Amino acid sequence: MNNFTYFQPKTLQEAGEMFGKSWHETTALAGGTDLLGLMKDDIEAPRNVVNLKSLPGLNRISYQPGKGLKIGALTSIAKIASHSDINKRYPVLAQAAKQVASPQLRNVGTIGGNICQRPRCWYFRGDFHCLRKGGDICYAVDGKNKYHCVIGGGPCFIVHPSDMAVALLALDAKLTVYSGGKNKTVAIGDFFVLPEKNVRRENILLPGEIVVDIRIQELNNNTKSGYVKFAERGVWDFAVVSVAAVIQKNGNALKKGRVVLGGVAPAPWFEKKISKKLSGLIPSEKNLDEIMKTALVDAEPLAMNEYKLPLAKNLMKRLIGELTA
């Protein structure tokens, strides 16, 4: 890790002004659990590190019945996992938080940092000058691509590593982003970018822009939500495939729902077809099997990751079945 100058701004404005035009010069430190790894591997070597934890008030959770939930970007994952209102009202978010990394990393890692973390692709993390690092090839295309994306890829084939992002997209969360002296609202669905749009970054943030908080609307009482994560080691591992679902019931049938996949695409992947077909669906095993035929139809698996398709379908089926049982 190269050395750097360390800053502890007291206000957002002060923090924002510390960034230049390039990500190379200055980096924001939230929990730091991802940033330190990147810096130790010399993937990022900023001259300045701005510790956002010195900004007051960004680590709070507030829930107001009827209005919804607001989570400060610097709130630890552990705090979200154990928060009683979140467990009660937004199980999908609590379940995702509980499955992030390990207890030690959940204590330090923040939700803002979690959704901004860089991909785990072993070519990106390794000693390879790949597209995402400014090189001219994606090594995964013809390389070891078992963990890479099956949809939304090209020219780079990463998957987005965040568990929280998958749950937040299912909840249709809104982000408050500080940008050049004022706050703006960004729908989480607009936050992430695919490599075809920007192969160097995973989200729309520009240097100096800071995620301030995350807001989630109130869910009505007929809503069920959940998160399943499938990782090879079972714990302390990133998702091979994960599913977040938020489903509103209406008697025996489903009123509407949002289903989001993690581990399949370079960004959390909103399963439009499945989500749409949930409206009015009677969630029998047969009906679920039937709609799963339409899932991920546009997928183009690489040589080693075709298994993600049955895996994703089976996990969606299992989660929707459990939530609607």
| 19 in contact with other proteins (CB under 8 A) | no
Binding of other proteins by 39 (CB under 8 A) = yes
Q: Does 6 bind other proteins (CB under 8 A)?
A: yes
The one among 13, 104, 198, 250 contacting other proteins by CB under 8 A: 104
Q: How do beta strands 48-51 and 68-72 pair?
A: unpaired
Nearest to other proteins of 108, 193 (CB atom): 108
**40, 60, 88, 200: which one contacts other proteins (CB under 8 A)?**
40
Positive/negative CA dihedral, 101, 43, 129, 153: positive
Distance (Å, rounded) from C-alpha 128 to C-alpha 105?
Answer: 26
**Whose Cβ is closer to other proteins: residue 232's or residue 290's?**
232
Q: Binding of other proteins at residue 124 (CB under 8 A)? A: no
Number of residues that bind other proteins (CB under 8 A): 55
Two structure tokens written together for 276: 């749409």
What minimum distance in Å lies between the beta carbon of 205 and other proteins?
21
- The verdict on 143 binding other proteins (CB under 8 A) reads yes
Residue 113 burial class via C-beta count within 10 angstroms: exposed 0-12, middle 13-18, buried 19 and up:
buried
> Rounded distance, CA 39 to CA 178, Å?
25
Q: Helix (H, G, I), strand (E, B), or coil: what is residue 171?
A: coil
- Residue 145 sits in the site that holds other proteins (CB under 8 A): no
Q: For residue 125, which phi and psi values (nearest 5 degrees)?
A: -75, -20
Peptide bond before residue 91 is cis, with ω within 30 degrees of 0: no
Q: How far is the CB of 100 from other proteins (least distance, A)?
A: 11
Residue 189 identity: G
Task: State the DSSP code for 34.
Answer: T
Q: Which of the ranges 140-148, 185-193, 202-210, 243-251 carries the binding residues for other proteins, by CB under 8 A?
A: 140-148
Please give the angle made by the CA atoms of 121, 124 and 126, to the nearest 5 degrees: 100
The residue within the footprint of other proteins, chosen from 18, 43, 61, 108 (CB under 8 A), is 108
Give me the residues that bind other proteins (CB under 8 A), please: 1-6, 29, 32-33, 36-37, 39-40, 47, 49, 51, 53, 78, 101-105, 107-108, 120, 122-123, 125-128, 139, 142-144, 146, 230, 232-237, 240, 304-307, 310-311, 314-315, 317-318
